[in-house]
Structures are given as structure tokens and as C-alpha cells.
Chains A and B, each alone.
Chain A
Amino acid sequence: MTKAAGRIAGAVLLAFILSGCSGVQSALDPKGPAAGELARLIWFFTVLCTIIWVLVMGVVAGILLRRRQRRLHDPLRVDQDEERTISRVVISAVGATALVLVGLTLLSFFANRTLAGIGEDAVLTIRLTGHQWWWEVRYENAEPNRILTTANEIHIPAGEAVRLLLESDDVIHSFWVPSLHGKLDLVPGMVNTLTLRADRPGIYRGQCAEFCGAQHAHMATLVVAQPRAEFDAWYDEQLKSAVEPSSEEQRTGRDTFLNGPCVMCHRIQGTPAGAITGPDLTHVASRQTIAAGTLRFSRGNLAAWIADPQGIKPGSKMPVMDLDGDQLNAIVAYLESLK
């Protein structure tokens, strides 16, 4: 390979690696004030530490490569000039280190202060509960009939601060949407508070960031930031009861659902199904993914998930059920209609 070809290959590789830094889930591609603050810290620390590392390596290399002095020392004789030079170098190096450390500490302190200040004007409170292995999202409201429960997809108004109350139902989880904020743990028995703010509308992916069991990797969430009007429309739509089945197949599906094992864990508002240990399915078809970001929402994926949840997500709390083909098809048709 010629030198030029090597250089081009290197550049392509670098571009390829760096392209991973943008997108729906990246701390280096901030889309909110908290993430912006953190990204600034990351870059500043990285650049400064790189400069220091290069300087130190340069000095070490200089010492190694220096021509050895031929002059023989008398070990008992102290060269005052040399001693003075040495102490000056050591003192200034220690001073510089202290200065850098104090500087970085201050920088991190001020970043933290900014983070703590974000969201004192929060307009919305969302209770986010971690379960093995999905997220329960509950929008608090002073009016009880405006409280909304959904799962795995957090809709927020763009440009406004939202307060998240983080809780856990079983083990410690951690909520992290890298494009929006730094991660914070969901600890059983206590409530952690986090403020979420997305500057622009968009979809940002989040992931459980604390190992929580067999399906930790399949515990993702989407934060959907929408313009205020769109968010309000979504909220009102979600508050409604589930739509009535409109075809014969959907009606069979609803009856199978209500007479089958589904009702032991799931809730569909407007029907007798009212269990709360599994995700709320009232508007399941309005969500983009199923099984906490494991699969895209589609008829095929839904059927696969209901037929063999333990093959797709081994160890998840969704059991393998005794359904025949017709029952499965009917349930899928019904769930697909729950927009």
C-alpha cells in the first residue's frame, strides 16, 4: 500500500468511527442543556489531558534521548546551580499540576451547579418506575382523571423542563438518555429526581445503564420530544379509553384477551382488564417499539413476541402461553387496533 492510500484508509476509518458519535443515542451529540454541559466537560477534559499527556511524554522522551554527560561527578560535591534548576523544575511542575486539578474541579463544580439549576421551572412531573425489564411511565396531575400511565415511551414537550421521579419496583436500574442528560439510578425504596429537557423536537433513545439481570440489554426507552401543541394532542389521545374493536377478528381478539392469561398482568382502559404488574396496553399500537425497545412495533413482531416471548427475551416475565394459531391472530389483530 502506498502512503497516500494508507492515509485515505485511515481517514475513512476515522470518519467511520466518529460517525458513531452522532445519532439518537450519543453523549457527544447533545440535544439538551444538561447533555450540552456534560459534552463540554468531556471535550475540555479530553483535550486538556491529551495536551498534558503529550507534554509529559515529550519530556520523558527528551530525558531518554539526551546525550549522557561525560563529566564525572564527585558524589559528595553539590553543584548549587544544578540543584537550583532541579528544584525550580519540580516546584513549577507540582504547581502546574495543582493548578490544573483545581481548575478541573472548579469546572466540574460549575457544570454541576448548572445541572442542578436546570428545571426549577418544570412544567410536568413524570414518575418513571423501573421494572425487570421495562419502564413504567406515569404522568402526575393534580386532577386524578388526568393522570396517565403508559410504558417504555416518554413523550415530553420540546424546549420545556420536565421533572422525572425515578423509582424501582425490584432491583437497581439506571435511566440514561445520553443525548439529553447524565445517568441517574432508580433505587428501590427511594425517589431520585432528574430534570429532562430537550431543546428541539426529536426522538432520543435511552438505555438502562445499571446491570439489572438477564435482559438488562433489552431494557431501552424512547424519549419523544414534540412541539407543545402536538404533545397536548398526544396526551389527550392517550387519556381516552381503548377503541372498541371494529371487525369480527378484533372482537374475537378482545374476548380471547379478556378470557386468557393476558388479564393477569396487563391493563386496557375501558375493559375489565385492570392489572398493573405488566405494561399498560390501552394504546399499545401508538408506540414505536414492543418489549422495551426490543422489537419495532409491527403485526409480525407482535405475533412473534406473544407466541414466544422466552425465545426473544429469555427470562422476561412474559410467560409462554397456551394459545392456538387462531387465538394468536385474533389477539394480535385486536392489539394492533389499539392506537
Chain B
Amino acid sequence: MKTRVLLLMLLCVAIPVAGCEREERNTRPDPALGSSEQGVPVTTLAPGGERPSLSDTKAAEFENNAYHLSEGKRLFDWFNCSGCHANGGGGMGPALMDDKWIYGGSIESIHATIRDGRPNGMPSFRDRIPDDQIWELAAFVRALSGNASKAAAPSRNDDMMAHPSENRLPNATTLGKSP
């Protein structure tokens, strides 16, 4: 009986403690210097058939982290991405909340797009935005088409709602329906 009570108490402590790790905020990138240098795929065509794509360790780290996603949302506003992409709906620049990706929809491709720019208007933000913030922006842009985990995506807008908050956006590919 006593052991069971003890176990129960331990469980009661362990569950909240385990929850502490969800929001780890890494504001001090390590190493601070150097930026990711994965290749820029200008086209998805390549000779020799499909091969495993190269990935950056930061991709997985940033993709489903609530803090990084919300920072990406803030920076999207701060750096005036809406000037061309209009809250993801598209304007002078392409829409970001649909399922069409001209240069690939993986977080690595989006990171490369922001870092190096793309033909016909997308400027290069290399040396203008620290690498970690580019990853944050890329993670957020992916969340705009409903690709981020609902538990991590931003849950409210600070301003008037241009569209539902990112954790309620349907996946653009399936439009929320099961395939």
C-alpha cells in the first residue's frame, strides 16, 4: 500500500516536470558564428533519379518548436514580408498559404529562398538576417499552409485576423479533409 502511494506521488511530480521541456527557448545560438550552407536547389530536376536530400540539423530543431514558430511570426511582421506576400495570401509575391511551392516546400528550401533570394523579385537576406532567424521565418512560412504541428504553431494573432491562427489553418494539400 505504502509503495503504491509513493509511486502515485512520484507520478504526480513526474508528469508536470516532464512538461517543463516543451518550451525550451534557445535565444543564444551555439555556435553563434557561421550560417548554414546547404545547397540551393534552383530546380527539382536532377540527373540520375531521386536521391536522399541533404538536411540541416536545425531543420528538425526549428520546425516544431513553439518558441521558434512564434518568433518567426513576429519577424514575418517586423521584416515586412507582408509587403509582398500579404499575410500569406499573396500579392506582388506568391501566396504562402496554398499548396503550391515554386522552389520546394521543405523548411530547407524555404530557408534557402529567404537566404539567397529567388529570380523575379525575392530579395536575398543573407547577411541581413542572422541565420537562426531565417530558420524561424522558414518554420513559420511552412506553418502558414498548415504544415506545422498544432501543438506548436502560433495560436493567436496580435492584430486583426487576416486568417485563422496558424494552429487552426487546414493543411493546404488536403484542405483539412482526409485523403
- CA–CA, A284 to B143, complex, Å? 38
**Residue numbers in B under 8 Å from A320 (CB-CB):** 27-29, 32, 130, 132
Overall SS of chain B's interface: loop
Known A-B contacts A261-B128, A265-B78, A310-B27; the reply to A322 vs B133 at CB < 8 A is no
Q: Which residue of B lies closest to A320 (CB)?
A: B32
B79 and A311 within 8 A (CB)? no
Known A-B contacts A277-B78, A322-B34, A322-B35; the reply to A311 vs B128 at CB < 8 A is no
A261 and B33 within 8 A (CB)? no
Other-chain residue from B25, B128, B158 in contact with A260 (beta carbon distance below 8 A): B128
Query: Is B131 part of the binding interface, using a Cβ–Cβ cutoff of 8 Å?
Result: yes
Q: Which residue of B lies closest to A265 (CB)?
A: B78
Which one of A188, A259, A277, A320 has the greatest number of beta carbons of chain B within 10 Å? Answer: A320
Q: Which residue of A lies closest to B71 (CB)?
A: A317
A322 and B129 within 8 A (CB)? no
Known A-B contacts A170-B158, A310-B27, A314-B27; the reply to A319 vs B132 at CB < 8 A is yes
Contact-residue size bin, chain A (C-beta under 8 Å from the other chain):
20 to 34
Query: Is B21 part of the binding interface, using a Cβ–Cβ cutoff of 8 Å?
Result: no
Tally A-B pairs: CB < 8 A. 45
**Residue numbers in A under 8 Å from B37 (CB-CB):** none
Overall SS of chain A's interface: loop
Query: Is A315 part of the binding interface, using a Cβ–Cβ cutoff of 8 Å?
Result: yes
- We find that the number of chain B residues with CB closer than 8 angstroms to chain A is 19
**Residue numbers in B under 8 Å from A324 (CB-CB):** 33
**Residue numbers in B under 8 Å from A264 (CB-CB):** 78-79, 128-129
B128 and A322 within 8 A (CB)? no
Q: Which residue of B lies closest to A262 (CB)?
A: B128
| A window 71-119: CB within 8 A of B | none
Distance of B155 from chain A, by nearest CB (Å): 15
Distance of B78 from chain A, by nearest CB (Å): 5
Query: Is B127 part of the binding interface, using a Cβ–Cβ cutoff of 8 Å?
Result: yes
**Residue numbers in A under 8 Å from B127 (CB-CB):** 259-261, 322
- CA–CA, A320 to B29, complex, Å? 7
A315 and B33 within 8 A (CB)? no
- CA–CA, A308 to B130, complex, Å? 13
- CA–CA, A112 to B61, complex, Å? 54
- CA–CA, A319 to B27, complex, Å? 8
Known A-B contacts A277-B78, A322-B33, A322-B34; the reply to A310 vs B129 at CB < 8 A is no
Interface residues of B (CB under 8 A from A): 25, 27-29, 32-35, 74, 78-79, 127-133, 158
Please list 5 pairs of residues, one from A and one from B, whose beta carbons are closer than 8 Å in the complex, sorted by A's number: A188-B158, A264-B128, A314-B27, A322-B32, A322-B127
The 8 tightest CB contacts between A and B, nearest first, are A310-B28, A277-B78, A320-B32, A310-B27, A319-B130, A322-B33, A321-B130, A261-B128
